[in-house]
Amino acid sequence: MNKKHLAAYAVVAVLFGVMGAMVAVYKKPAPSVQTSPATVASEGQVTNPVTKLYAQSLNDLEGKPQPLAQWKGKPLLVNFWATWCGPCVREMPELSHLAGEDGGKRFNVIGIGIDSPTNMSEFAAKMDITYPLYVGGMGGTELSRGFGNTNGGLPYTVLIGADGEVIKTYLGELKFDELRADLAKLGS
């Protein structure tokens, strides 16, 4: 192959890379959506993502397995996040403040990290996150997909009612006015 062909291939590769980046940057984010808790599995059986979530046992930041079923019976805000995700990092201090304000009286907040235990522990200590964090790894991405996060975008937050029904999902950085209004509808 001569240098002209090699240069042409390099230019085409760069153009495709730029076009892909432009599509990613200019693509409008998906709006918050209501999600049905029942989805059809590939085998044709109905699965409930909340049931699947509560069936999980994930390690906390100390490496101890924690059954997520402990959160049943009260509204739960589940935040899927990662330390390398800029919007996740920006929203976590306010999410931690919100969790601390309520203190678990009306709802609980948990975070499922799509990251390594070491990165998560260092981040949580530095940022003083007050709500429980669990190591989900890539399995956390699959859990979030069950709630309608088909592309695996982060952050992704799910509001689950005390009855185990999905109330709302939020893709992207949380808008806390919207979230507080949704939480106010939970009643006392």
Please give the model's pTM, rounded to 2 decimal places: 0.76
Instruction: Answer whether residue 92 shows pLDDT above 50.
Output: yes
- What's the whole-number average pLDDT of the chain? 83
Instruction: Answer whether residue 33 shows pLDDT above 70.
Output: no
Q: What is the pLDDT of residue 46?
A: 42
44: buried, middle or exposed (CB in 10 Å: 19+, 13-18, 0-12)?
exposed
- Determine the average pLDDT of the residues in 29-33: 38
Instruction: Answer whether residue 147 shows pLDDT above 70.
Output: yes
Instruction: Answer whether residue 8 shows pLDDT above 80.
Output: no
Most confident of 4-13, 43-52, 85-94: 85-94
Q: What is the pLDDT of residue 88?
A: 97
- Determine the average pLDDT of the residues in 120-146: 94
Q: What is the pLDDT of residue 47?
A: 77
Q: What is the pLDDT of residue 17?
A: 45
